Amino acid sequence: MTERPVPRWAERLAHAIPFMVLPSGLWRLGLAAGWSMGMVDEAGRPIHAHGWEIGYVVVLSLVSEAVALTAFGLVRRWGEVVPRWIPWIGSRRVPPYAAIVPATLGSLALIAIWGFAFRDVFSDEFLPFGSDAAKALMIACYAPLNLWGPALLVLTWAYYRRRVSSAAPVEPAAV
């Protein structure tokens, strides 16, 4: 239970964020599994991940999903009070700006990263694909990442409103 009630829309948005990241991770795991996913080189030959690239793609997919899951900290108790099992700081109150500042900076970084990554998506300057269907699949899998930054920014705003901009913290009723 959080200190103040989390709006239902914020709870739903926190659940949606990992699903915004999942399609791109699954697409990348296809590359790691040995499929070209329709990508071709300059000569039109399918591109495949090899050696360290496979590990990189798998780790990138897992880390991206793990980072997306941190959005739950903005709607859960562990975003307000450090869990007891964490050494030295467990059970301490999380200063609101310790979550707000990184979440805001992360949101802005995601907006910049995915805005830049999609700048040429509908031009001939984009990655080469063997077919329009393969390109459409990749775009469909990566397009939700453009929503990740704005969604996290809105969720951060809701956290700010709940934890900072309201009146004095609500104290539990004495029993």
- d(C-alpha 12, C-alpha 16), whole Å: 6
| Residue segments in the chain with a per-residue pLDDT below the cut of 70 | 166-175
What's the pLDDT score for residue 124?
Answer: 79
Phi then psi for residue 134, to 5 deg, are -65, -40
- d(C-alpha 87, C-alpha 162), whole Å: 27
Q: What is the pLDDT of residues 83-98, one digit of tens each?
A: 989 999 988 999 999 9
What's the pLDDT score for residue 173?
Answer: 47
What's the pLDDT score for residue 35?
Answer: 95
In the chain, where the domains are located:
8-163
Check: CB of residue 2 under 8 Å from CB of residue 76.
yes
The widest CA-to-CA distance across the chain, in whole angstroms, is 75
- d(C-alpha 48, C-alpha 139), whole Å: 19
Using DSSP, state whether 24 is helix, strand or coil. Answer: helix
What's the pLDDT score for residue 166?
Answer: 62
What's the pLDDT score for residue 174?
Answer: 46
CB atoms under 10 Å from CB of 69, counted, come to 13
pTM for this prediction: 0.87
